[in-house]
Chains A and B, each alone.
Chain A
Amino acid sequence: MARLRLPALLVLVALVTMTPFVVMVLVAFAPAGGRTLPGAFDLTRATWENFSAVLSGADITRWAVNSLVYSLVSVVLILLFSSMAGYAFAKKRFPGRELLFWSFLATLMVPFQATLIPYFVLVSRLGGVDTYWGLIVPTLANSQAVFLMRQFIRQLPDELFEAAKIDGASEWRIYTTVVIPLITPVLATLGVFVFLWHWNDFLWPLVIGQSSHMRTLTVGLATLEGENVAVNQIMAGATITVLPCLLVFGLLQRYLTDSIATTGLKS
């Protein structure tokens, strides 16, 4: 009895979890204006017209580009700066090292929304409203990334770096040819998370991208929702927005879930 109940429950929960996605795709492909009740879906009438309508009607391609720029540039810079800092915190002794590291970590206690106003004041004073740099640069100070890098690099044996030093390699060379290759797995994991955090981010892009052409996909989707756009088109937009996440997830599922279980990564 119990043997039978368990899988049945699992399948049930899985179905409920997947339903919203299935519904989203079905509505996105349903003919515009048609009844959207579940029983009324007719796969033979599936159409791309909602996608072409939403793509031609709104700035959605521009928003997708913005999301890509925001996510990819942030990934590259956060990986670079946090691995450099992580290397120094893990393997170099310098005055104030512990104090700096813990003060970086302490910022995790401050919720982003609590500092949203001074953030915005600062960036607007520096002329960063409605610009890419205003969107990206303030998000680069990521304590979790530094923490993760330091923890990982600490475990690498010192002999590796000493051997490179004896061979006469410069510090930058040691960083690029010894550190980076050794930490590639963590870099990849962190990179995926940073990508997802930025791709899905909402509040900061909402306040900083004030004109339509500086919106990201999530912000754009929310504004579509506010305007009088047909539900079929909104679901088409939603499908476009979620596609990169699904792709990343499909490719790296194991990786992602394992690293949450072991490190507790959360934005």
Chain B
Amino acid sequence: MTASTTGELAAPTPEPVAVPDPPRPAGRPPRPVRRREARVGLLFVAPMLLLFLVFRFGPTLGAAFLSLTDYRLSGDWRFIGVENYARLLEDDLFWASLGVTALYTLVFVPLTVCLSLGTALLLHRAVWLRGFFRGVFFLPYVTSIVLAAVIWKWIYDVEDGLLNAALGVLSLGPFDFLGDERLVLPAIAVTSAWKGFGYSMLILLAGLQSIPREVTEAAVIDGATGWQRLRWVTLPLLRPVLFFVLVIEAIGAFQVFDAMYVMTAGGPVRASYSLVYLLYDTGFKFFDFGYASALGLVLFLVVLVFSLIQRRLIGRDD
């Protein structure tokens, strides 16, 4: 009987220990020992299992169930079948928020992937102070998106914001970045990209470093220019990592809420009113919990589709 190697998931293990898995002794241990081991195992899992039962599995099933009711936290409620979903299809606000979220994702994902790929490529080639720059680029990631939103809200300010002051020097503007329907989503996307690109950068940097040196050196000998090497050697080899980053950023983008809540309160005229914002308002402003749960299920389905595409295209990572 070998150690279980079935079904390994995504991430490689941290700081591998030098000693490899020793082979298990052949044959099973005698019964009483096995039973004791099982009891100990269950006891050690018990606290986490209890937490998962109550706070993960429970609410997940609860979300599906609530979405079939008109539950409102107080008073009577009844089972209304798929009525909430029928309502969704006819709800302009839902489609609008879905549109805002999709548009935001379309702006945010390319922006953040370009930014993290660009900085990763720069860092990969940098010889001096690599650790320092890596730290600088990663720094915003350890802060809160609320903090990023608060700072950037002021940077975007029409009257005395930093950005308009800078643009003023070039005699441009002023722009009302957060008050203009066309500018608000890109403006928020820039803030989120600033906050989060360091994470994808690190993943991409690790990917770049795992490309064998010989491959790029061979390309140099064949006389490829820097751009050709990037286009025909580095990027194809980096594709699985790039795709991983693309999908997790898209999943994150579809859940956007905090930045919009703080920077624009969903405005102007709902131009930054995302799906999760609608879910939040439906639940905690109008206490329409059944309908809000249906919105949550839509979010889950979108994320599921992203994950399935990822699985399909890069298969199980190992």
- Find A85's partner among B6, B44, B128 (CB 8 Å cutoff): B44
- Residue-wise, chain B 118-137 has the 8 Å CB interface mask toward A (1 for contact) of 11001101101001011111
Q: Which of A24, A140, A264 contacts B10 (CB 8 A)?
A: A264
A174-223 interface with B by 8 A CB criterion: 175, 185-186, 189, 196, 199-203, 207, 218-219, 221-222
B146 CB to closest chain A CB (Å) equals 4
A109 B307 Cβ-Cβ under 8 A = yes
Categorize the interface residue count of chain A: 35 or more
Binary flags per residue of B1-34, CB closer than 8 Å to A gives 1, else 0: 0011011011111111101011010000000001
Asked if A257 contacts B135 (CB within 8 A), the reply is yes
> Which residues on A sit within 8 Å (CB–CB) of B118?
13
Per a CB cutoff under 8 Å, which of A20, A241, A264 touches B144? A241
Between A and B, how many residue pairs show CB distances below 8 Å?
A: 312
Pick the residue among A87, A95, A196, A263 that contacts B142 (CB under 8 A).
Answer: A196
User: Chain A, 70-89, contact with B by CB distance < 8 Å: what is the 0/1 string?
Assistant: 00000000001110110111
Q: B206 near A: Cβ within 8 Å?
A: yes
Task: Flag A105-129 by CB within 8 Å of B: 1 or 0 each.
Answer: 1010111111111111110100000
| A95 and B37 alpha carbons, distance in the complex (Å) | 10
Select B40's contact among A27, A155, A171, beta carbons within 8 Å: A171
Stretch of B87-95, B215-223, B288-296 contacting A (4+ beta carbons < 8 Å): B288-296
**Inter-subunit contact A207/B146 (CB<8 Å):** no
| Contact between B146 and A222, CB atoms less than 8 A apart | yes
Q: Is the CB of B150 within 8 A of A121?
A: no
Q: Taking the complex as formed, is B202 at the interface, i.e. its CB lies under 8 A from any CB of chain A?
A: yes
Is B299 engaged at the interface, CB distance under 8 Å to the other chain? yes
Give the residues in chain B near A37, CB-CB below 8 Å.
160, 162, 165
Q: Which listed residue (A9, A14, A84, A121) contacts B62, Cβ 8 A?
A: A121
| Chain A residue nearest to B135 in the complex (CB) | A253
Q: Tell me whether B58 is interfacial, beta carbon within 8 Å.
A: yes
Assuming the contacts A17-B136, A93-B34, asked whether A260 and B144 have C-beta atoms less than 8 A apart, the reply is: no
The answer, among A23, A88, A159, A260, for a CB contact under 8 Å with B162, is A23
Taking the closest CB of chain A, its distance from the CB of B291, in whole angstroms, is: 9
Min CB gap B59→A, angstroms: 4
Interface of A, secondary structure class, is: helix
Residues 65 to 97 of chain B near chain A (Cβ within 8 Å): 66, 71, 73
Residues of the A chain whose Cβ atoms lie less than 8 Å from the Cβ of B147: 200, 218, 221, 238, 241-242
Taking the nearest CB of chain B, how far is it from the CB of A244, in angstroms?
A: 10
Distance between Cα atoms of A39 and B169 in the complex (Å): 11
Interface string of B163-194 (1 = CB under 8 A from A): 00110000000000000000000000000001
- Whether the Cβ atoms of A260 and B128 lie closer than 8 Å is no
CA gap between A196 and B54 in the complex, in Å: 24
Report whether A151 and B45 are in contact in the complex, using a CB–CB cutoff of 8 Å: no
Chain A nearest CB: distance from B159 CB in Å? 9
Contact between chains at A122 and B59 (CB < 8 Å): yes
Name the residue among A124, A241, A261 with the largest chain B CB count within 10 angstroms: A261
Residues of B within 8 A of A113 (CB): 255, 257, 276, 279, 296, 299
Residue in A closest to B204 when the chains form the complex, CB atoms = A261
Would you call A57 an interface residue if the criterion is a C-beta within 8 Å of the partner chain's C-beta atoms?
no
- On whether the beta carbons of A225 and B150 are closer than 8 Å, the reply is yes
Asked if residues A81 and B206 are in contact (CB atoms below 8 Å), the reply is no
Residue A38 interfacial (CB < 8 Å):
yes
Query: Given A95-B38, A225-B150, 18 more contacts at CB 8 Å?
Result: A10-B122, A13-B119, A14-B136, A38-B165, A104-B56, A110-B56, A110-B60, A111-B251, A121-B66, A122-B54, A151-B11, A155-B13, A155-B16, A196-B142, A200-B146, A218-B146, A238-B147, A249-B135
A-B contact pairs, 22 of them (CB 8 A): A2-B226, A13-B122, A17-B140, A19-B162, A81-B47, A88-B43, A94-B45, A107-B52, A110-B303, A111-B300, A117-B66, A117-B283, A118-B60, A121-B71, A137-B51, A143-B52, A225-B150, A225-B153, A235-B151, A246-B142, A249-B135, A260-B203
